[in-house]
Amino acid sequence: MGATVNAMSTLTIARRFCGPGESANGGYFAGSVAAHLAQTVTVRLLRPPPLDTPLEMQRLADGTLAITLGEQQIGTARPAQLALATPHAPAYFEAVEASRRYAGFKHHRFPHCFVCGTERPRGDGLRIFAGPLPERGLVAAPWVPDATLDPGDGKVRPEFMSAALDCPGFYAVSSDDRMMLLGEFTAHVNRRVHIGERCTVMGWRLHDDGRKHAAGTAVFGEDGDLCGSAQALWIEPKGE
């Protein structure tokens, strides 16, 4: 089981979908919230979302959704529209070659991350290893979704597409392996990709502002169509 929402408006992220340490992968968490609301939202992460722990989801007076654990606010979500200019996609085999240069093969802060962890076996983690395409100013990786991501209709669940759009953004803005944490994430799914489809995922730098770094990401289907995109804000912790 993955993220679950019950009639009491709670959300639980299963341990499989971890990011750093004992917390959820940010893209998967954001995608799970968006799936609950059935719309495109901007999710702000205020604390690392805990695993295997029911989180309360409550609509506030201004329309914001608050995700809490007791008195602690874990995150918020608000309706959003994603206006993102997407660079031309690299070819699938370009992405395969780029992934050979994935920085995480030399050193990985979070090797068990559901999306980009090198110690997650096939059929468990997504194993999206985005490596640089210096001449394009991008990072890119191949992705062939496996059957564990299928809700029963042969297509990838939206929260997994949101997860796939997370980590390539980190490698687009932290090529020197600088420590950064996901602060905000807005993902939009154009179409759910098929299980076994040869997809290309890419990330690129948008802009920097001190310790804050914005990245764009996109996933393309086998025929080169844009299937989903996201904009993320990555933040360097103080003292790093």
CATH code for 4-79? Answer: 3.10.129.10
DSSP 107-119: --S-TT-TTT-TT
Amino acid (one-letter) located at 114: F
Phi, psi for 142 (deg, rounded to 5): -80, 155
Burial class (CB in 10 A: 0-12, 13-18, 19+), 146: middle
Could you read off the pLDDT of 63-121 as tens digits, one per residue?
899 999 999 999 999 999 999 999 999 999 999 999 999 999 999 999 999 999 999 99
Q: Which CATH architecture has domain 92-235?
A: Roll (3.10)
Could you read off the pLDDT of 132-170 as tens digits, one per residue?
999 999 999 999 999 999 999 999 999 999 999 999 999
Residue 82: partners with Cβ closer than 8 Å, 6 or more residues away: 40, 186, 187, 188, 229, 230, 231
Q: Say how far apart CA 228 and CA 188 lie, in whole Å.
A: 6
Global confidence as pTM: 0.94
Ranges of each domain in the chain: 4-79, 92-235
